[in-house]
Amino acid sequence: MTEDARDEVDRLVAAWRTERPDLDVEPLQVLSRVSRLAKHLDRARRAAFAEHDLEPWEFDVLTALRRAGKPYELSPGALLRATLVTSGTMTNRIDRLAQAGLVRRRPDPEDRRGVLVSLTETGLARVDAAFADLLRRERELLSSLGPADQRTLADLLRTLLTPFDSPL
């Protein structure tokens, strides 16, 4: 490998091999790169959301509703499952999004005690624009890989993540 092809992780691994030759530092080859990439992705996500006056948590709730399909509506319980937060946190988030005019609540016709949360036209427009911007930024992050390499990487990452996504 030429010095030009080396990255910060290569230098980090080399230093650890020198300092701790008794340890197998191979996991750093993959996981340090994943960690560094996650930081770049987080910056890209935050920038995309900020351009559309959204916080990451707002985007998460709005995209859960958007993915539900027309009428872009879910129960608070379904939103909890989609975003992995507590019920108190979700109530607060729905309140804040409703105050911002991005979602509305209505009584659930199937359950007199329940409510449904849906996107407003403003919420739909905002989440669609932010999502399109996010995809543009993510394509930029992946631009050094061709389509076949992107599919291979996606397959390898899926294999690595599947055990973590399995129900307990």
Under DSSP, the state recorded for 23 is S
Tokens of 33: 């790169």
Model pLDDT, residue 1 = 56
Which residue stretches of the chain have pLDDT < 70? 1-4, 166-168
Model pLDDT for residues 113-149, shown as the tens digit of each residue = 889 999 999 999 999 999 999 999 999 999 999 999 9
d(CA 150, CA 55): 28
Model pLDDT, residue 3 = 56
Query: Interhelix angle for 8-19 vs 27-50, to 10°?
Result: 140
d(CA 19, CA 24): 12
Q: Give the angle 155-130-45 at the CA atoms, nearest 5°.
A: 55
pTM of the predicted protein model: 0.84
